[in-house]
Amino acid sequence: MKTIYFDNNATTQVAPEVFEEIKPYFADLYGNPSSMHTFGGQVGIKIRQAREKVAALLGCDPAEIIFTGCGTEGDNTAIKGTLAAHPNRRKIITTRVEHPAVLSVCRDYENLGYLIVELSVDKKGRLDLAELESHLDDNTAIVTIMYANNETGVVFPIEKIAEMVKSKGIIFHTDAVQAVGKIPINLSTSNIDLLSISGHKLHAPKGVGVLYVRKGTRLTPFMLGGHQEGGRRAGTENVPGIIGLGKACELAMQNFEQENKKVKFLRDKLEKGIISKCSDCMVNGDEENRLPNTANISFEFIEGESILLMLDRFGICASSGSACTSGSLEPSHVLRAMGIPYTAAHGSIRFSLSRYNTEQEVDFTIEKIPPIISRLRELSPFVKK
């Protein structure tokens, strides 16, 4: 049975071009980029080139790129490194819909006596910028707000937010793990100080990420040890991962508009096809400001997990929440923050597409879903028969 992969916000297929590029670094070219000899030095050159490619996609200086182990590390480093560098400021502002890589770090600081402000969202998952502005003060060390939501795809007005935060002299971090490669980002014209990326969300391997740190931003290193990454992140580099991420950024740049247009067309077709054929279902999130690849749909009165199991029989992979929250019986914290009723939040499914999906896959899925939903509703104790 062929796999139909609609779970790209959880992780993506490594691009074949990326795989080809990194193969030699697992086998023949195993040198340490910090070595003095030519054998290691040639690897160092490839890392420099990868840094340039990431910087080109983001519109920043290569010196502003720190390679990390994952998106979670970038988020942790941004928050912890900023708080350590500004010990007199004791307040963090974030949102209720962040990924746990941000939210759990902030809540941990609450236990250490910090004041944490978690901004609310409306029923479409949108922020109220006046609420944000009312909390900015001299005690605020960092504002950390995601670029795009991993569950609903809702995109926040990050440039506007960064400008507002910067005008008060406060550090601004954004978790752009879901945004990079899907929507344009240009750091050369932005007020963002810190931005995190994860390789495996944009067709690079797992185990690599980036933290962008604007020149002049004070950040205490999180990992101490050797002099890698200019002393800002110790540890021997994940050479194939970094080279792969560089290649993935190059690919994202080459085909940016064309591919995201295609992905949006497929997402819209899938979403409309499902909504038009199933009763009592709705799209979650701000349809006007959304990633082109994400559809989050609630099917009333049934469990998302049951839908997933039935889709799985046809080889269709989707998700019933973020990769990290599925497995728990609690409905997603993001949908709860949006005030989605429990009966709908429990039956929510996220479809997240990539450049590798096809129209045939979308058509096949649109055909399979309505009978699944009808069957589950017949079994549901919440549906009047």
Q: How far apart are CA 98 and CA 104, in angstroms?
A: 9
Q: Judged by CB under 6 A, does residue 54 bind ligand PLP? A: no
Among candidates 336, 337, 353, 355, which has minimal Cα distance to 345?
A: 336
Least Å distance, CB 100 to ligand PLP, is 8
Q: Judged by CB under 6 A, does residue 140 bind ligand PLP? A: no
**Nearer Cβ to ligand PLP, position 144 or 357?**
144
Least Å distance, CB 172 to ligand PLP, is 16
Using CB under 6 A, count the residues that bind ligand PLP.
16
Least Å distance, CB 34 to ligand PLP, is 24
Paired with 195 in beta bridges are: 174, 212
Among candidates 302, 251, 307, 327, which has minimal Cα distance to 50?
A: 251
Among 7, 21, 64, 175, binds ligand PLP (CB under 6 A): 175
Give the interface segment with ligand PLP, choosing from 130-138, 172-180, 217-225, 302-310 (CB under 6 A).
Answer: 172-180
Least Å distance, CB 377 to ligand PLP, is 30
Q: How far apart are CA 144 and CA 171, in angstroms?
A: 9
Q: Which residues contact 231 (CB under 8 A, 6 or more apart)?
A: 221
**Nearer Cβ to ligand PLP, position 116 or 275?**
116
**Nearer Cβ to ligand PLP, position 281 or 308?**
308
Q: Cβ-closest residue to ligand PLP?
A: 71
Among 33, 47, 60, 71, binds ligand PLP (CB under 6 A): 71
Q: Judged by CB under 6 A, does residue 209 bind ligand PLP? A: yes
**Nearer Cβ to ligand PLP, position 237 or 300?**
237
Strands in 300-382 per DSSP E: 316-317, 348-352
Q: How far apart are CA 271 and CA 33, in angstroms?
A: 47
Q: Which positions are annotated as active-site residues?
A: 324
Q: Which residues contact 134 (CB under 8 A, 6 or more apart)?
A: none
Least Å distance, CB 176 to ligand PLP, is 8
Give the interface segment with ligand PLP, choosing from 71-79, 108-116, 128-136, 162-170 (CB under 6 A).
Answer: 71-79
Least Å distance, CB 352 to ligand PLP, is 10
Cβ proximity of 213 and 232 under 8 Å = yes
Cβ proximity of 105 and 76 under 8 Å = yes
Q: Judged by CB under 6 A, does residue 101 bind ligand PLP? A: yes
Strands in the chain per DSSP E: 4-5, 65-68, 91-95, 115-119, 140-144, 171-175, 194-198, 209-213, 281-283, 294-299, 316-317, 348-352
Mask of contacts with ligand PLP, 114-133, x by CB under 6 A?
--------------------
User: Segment 321-340, which members bind ligand PLP (CB under 6 A)?
Assistant: 322-323
3-state secondary structure 60-110: CCHHHEEEECCHHHHHHHHHHHHHHHCCCCCEEEEECCCCHHHHHHHHHHH
Give the position of tokens 């049975």.
Answer: 1
Q: Judged by CB under 6 A, does residue 294 bind ligand PLP? A: no
Q: Judged by CB under 6 A, does residue 99 bind ligand PLP? A: yes
Q: How far apart are CA 262 and CA 73, in angstroms?
A: 32
Give contact residues for ligand PLP (rule: CB under 6 A): 70-72, 75, 99, 101, 146, 150, 175, 177-178, 198, 200, 209, 322-323
